[in-house]
């Protein structure tokens, strides 16, 4: 595996940046705790409803951090020197994205562990929930790769804001089902609402695989397309 050393270097780079780690793991946790403290009778604030949303919020942070560091690296002379090695675009993509997967997994575990303290209950299959979140994580990391390869460090925050708003109003935060109307129509076109509704259904109503397969196919379909675009973005950046 020619990309192993690149993966290792980027992995160290990620774990030796305490500030961005604190942001990507700490901020969602803080959010969860604050929202739990403000908790009212509203069902939406129940841990089971909240935890997947907070996890997705964490993934959006992770996407931002991945996009920023790829964008920064891309302008470095080290990156152009790596472009003179026989590494292929797919190996670059692996080397830059793989280190974020463990961060995403830890994020989700920490968030769910804290939500458990607040009384989180999973009526359905925990494995299914984990699978949904994993696909989500892959999707957001790949999105980060696309953003990081196409935009400069100054542009990345704006693109991040757009994705964040899409995620929030697309169902990660606002309950598009209950608002309905244009929010629901727009939200349904994006993967975020589908991911969230699948996770919430499994957790609160004990829905099984076949019950959420519609939402899941949206999520998986989007993820495949986004990963494909990430590879294209890497290929485009191989020669100026």
Partner 1 sequence: MTSAAEVSTAISASALTKHYDDFVAVDGIDLEVERGELFALLGPNGAGKTTTIKMLCCLLRPTAGTASVMGHDVSTDPLGVKSVIALSPQETAIAEHVSAWDNLSLMAGSHGIDKATAKARSGELLEMMGLVDRADERVKKYSGGMKRRLSIAMALVTEPQVLFLDEPTLGLDPQSRRAIWSYIEELKGETTILLTTHYLEEADALADRIEIIDEAKIVALGTPDELKGSISDGQVTVVEAAGMTADAIEALRQTYPEVKATATGVEIEGSVVNLYDIQDVLRPRGIVVESSYQKQVTLDDVFLELTGKQLRE
* Span of 12-20, 40-48, 160-168, 192-200 interacting with partner 1 by CB under 8 A: 12-20
Are the C-beta atoms of residues 55 and 155 closer than 8 Å to each other? no
CA distances to 44, 109, 129 from 199, rounded to whole Å, are 14, 15, 6
Cα angle 92-98-100, degrees, rounded to a multiple of 5: 125
Sole binder of partner 1 in the list 6, 138, 139, 195 (CB under 8 A): 6
Sole binder of partner 1 in the list 38, 40, 84, 154 (CB under 8 A): 84
Q: Between residues 12 and 39, which has the closer beta carbon with respect to partner 1? A: 12
Nearest-angstrom CA–CA distance, 51 and 59? 12
* Span of 105-113, 138-146, 149-157, 232-240 interacting with partner 1 by CB under 8 A: 232-240
Interface positions, 13-32, toward partner 1 (CB under 8 A): 13, 16
- What's the Rg (C-alpha) of the chain? 18
Sole binder of partner 1 in the list 18, 81, 178, 210 (CB under 8 A): 81
- Verify binding: residue 85, partner 1, rule CB under 8 A: yes
Residues that bind partner 1 (CB under 8 A): 2-6, 8-9, 12-13, 16, 76-78, 80-88, 238-240
């Amino acid at each position: 595996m020619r990309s192993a050393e690149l993966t290792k270097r980027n992995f160290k780079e990620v774990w030796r940046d305490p500030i961005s780690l604190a942001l990507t793991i700490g901020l969602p946790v803080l959010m969860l705790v604050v929202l739990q403290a403000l908790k009212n009778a509203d069902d939406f604030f129940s841990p089971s409803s909240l935890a997947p949303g907070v996890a997705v919020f964490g993934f959006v942070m992770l996407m931002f951090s991945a996009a920023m560091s790829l964008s920064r690296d891309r302008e470095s002379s080290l990156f152009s020197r790596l472009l003179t090695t026989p590494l292929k675009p797919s190996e670059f993509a692996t080397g830059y994205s793989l280190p974020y997967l463990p961060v995403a997994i830890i994020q989700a575990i920490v968030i769910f562990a804290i939500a458990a303290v607040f009384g989180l209950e999973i009526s359905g299959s925990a494995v299914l929930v984990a699978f949904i979140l994993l696909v989500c994580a892959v999707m957001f990391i790949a999105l980060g790769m696309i953003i990081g390869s196409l935009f400069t460090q100054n542009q990345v925050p704006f693109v991040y804001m757009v994705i964040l708003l899409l995620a929030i109003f697309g169902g990660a935060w606002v309950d598009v089902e209950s608002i309905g109307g244009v929010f629901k129509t727009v939200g349904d076109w994006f993967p975020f609402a589908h991911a969230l509704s699948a996770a919430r259904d499994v957790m609160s109503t004990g829905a099984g695989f076949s019950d959420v397969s519609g939402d899941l196919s949206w999520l998986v379909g989007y993820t495949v397309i986004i990963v494909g675009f990430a590879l294209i973005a890497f290929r485009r950046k191989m020669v100026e």
